[in-house]
């Protein structure tokens, strides 16, 4: 009986995903027709990705194929900066990448950046969605005679529809758990670098200059780290991280 109920729930969920996907595709078609000027050549995709990520304040959704044929997948260091800025980052990949010699380490590197990483058997087209208001989406794959292209969408309604579709895939996804992440407390590279500076007695201003982040961002990250490490000061947080073997 439980198996039947689980199957019914899964089918209902898939039906919901299909409905949202149809709506999103129609909205996207209309947006492309209205805004052809936002088509992005393949060579310009990494720059467009960096530009749209720089505006992230709340949430970033990334779907990647790995290999990243379009250049949509931001480097793990860039995602670490987005996470340090206070935004939630989720990366969705395909199940087969877990055992792939190149894809597996790439996914784990993304997880180490502070992003939430999960996989599903079949993924939607490659896309980056920022704050449910802007999206950079692959339009055509590179092929002979076609360099491939993407579309930069700045329509909150359509971007929100697309994000809802990714949310539905995410609900069925299997989170990536890597044993190597736990050894450093699950810290992102930015938090590790920050704690090293704090253990050296550096001030917030000095840490901000060193990491090329705003003092406000550093202050927020220090507050979170102090709470996590149960430290009374930034220096104590750095020393506690050293004591735990996280650095």
Taking only the tens place, the pLDDT of each residue in 39-90 is 787 778 888 888 999 999 999 999 987 566 556 788 888 888 898 888 999 9
pLDDT band at residue 6 under the 50/70/90 scheme: very low
Task: Tell me how far apart the alpha carbons of residues 1 and 124 are, in angstroms, rounded to a whole number.
Answer: 32
Name which of 28-32, 47-51, 236-240 the model is least confident about: 28-32
Task: Tell me how far apart the alpha carbons of residues 217 and 201 are, in angstroms, rounded to a whole number.
Answer: 18
Task: Tell me how far apart the alpha carbons of residues 239 and 243 are, in angstroms, rounded to a whole number.
Answer: 6
Instruction: Please give the share of the chain, as a percent, with pLDDT higher than 90.
Output: 19
Task: Tell me how far apart the alpha carbons of residues 43 and 11 are, in angstroms, rounded to a whole number.
Answer: 40
Q: Is 120 left (phi over 0), alpha (psi -120 to 50) or beta?
A: beta
The residue with greater pLDDT, 142 or 118, is 118
Tell me how long the chain is: 247
8 A C-beta contact, residue 92 and residue 173: yes
Task: Tell me how far apart the alpha carbons of residues 69 and 143 are, in angstroms, rounded to a whole number.
Answer: 10
For residues 10-20, one letter each, b for 16 or more C-beta atoms within 10 angstroms of the residue's C-beta and e for the rest, the string is: eeeeeeebeeb
Task: Tell me how far apart the alpha carbons of residues 207 and 219 are, in angstroms, rounded to a whole number.
Answer: 10
The residue with greater pLDDT, 15 or 86, is 86
The residue with greater pLDDT, 107 or 204, is 204
Residue 223: CB atoms within 10 A of its CB come to 12
Coil/strand/helix, residue 121: coil
Residue 247: CB atoms within 10 A of its CB come to 16
pLDDT on residue 10: 46
pLDDT on residue 205: 92
Instruction: Please give the share of the chain, as a percent, with pLDDT higher than 70.
Output: 75
pTM exceeds 0.75, yes or no: no
Is 29 a residue whose pLDDT tops 60?
no
8 A C-beta contact, residue 65 and residue 126: yes
């Amino acid at each position: 009986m439980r198996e039947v109920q689980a199957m019914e729930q899964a089918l209902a969920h898939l039906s919901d995903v299909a409905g949202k996907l149809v709506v999103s595709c129609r909205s996207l078609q209309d947006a492309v027709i209205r805004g052809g000027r936002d088509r992005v050549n393949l060579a310009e995709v990494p720059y467009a990705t960096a530009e749209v990520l720089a505006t992230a304040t709340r949430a970033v959704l990334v779907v990647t194929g790995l290999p990243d044929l379009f250049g949509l997948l931001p480097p793990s260091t860039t995602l670490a900066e987005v996470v340090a800025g206070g935004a939630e980052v989720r990366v969705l990949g395909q199940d087969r990448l877990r055992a792939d010699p190149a894809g597996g380490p790439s996914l784990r590197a993304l997880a180490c950046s502070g992003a939430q990483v999960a996989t599903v058997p079949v993924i939607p087209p490659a896309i980056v969605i920022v704050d449910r208001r802007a999206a950079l989406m692959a339009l055509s794959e590179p092929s002979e005679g076609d360099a491939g292209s993407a579309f930069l969408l700045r329509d909150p309604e359509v971007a929100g529809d697309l994000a809802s579709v990714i949310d539905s895939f995410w609900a069925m996804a299997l989170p990536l758990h890597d044993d190597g992440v736990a050894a450093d407390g699950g810290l992102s590279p930015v938090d590790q670098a920050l704690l090293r500076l704090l253990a050296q007695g550096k001030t917030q201003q000095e840490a901000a200059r060193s990491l090329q982040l705003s003092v406000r961002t550093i202050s927020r990250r220090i507050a979170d780290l102090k709470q996590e490490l149960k430290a009374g000061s930034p220096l104590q947080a750095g020393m506690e991280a050293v004591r735990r073997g996280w650095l």
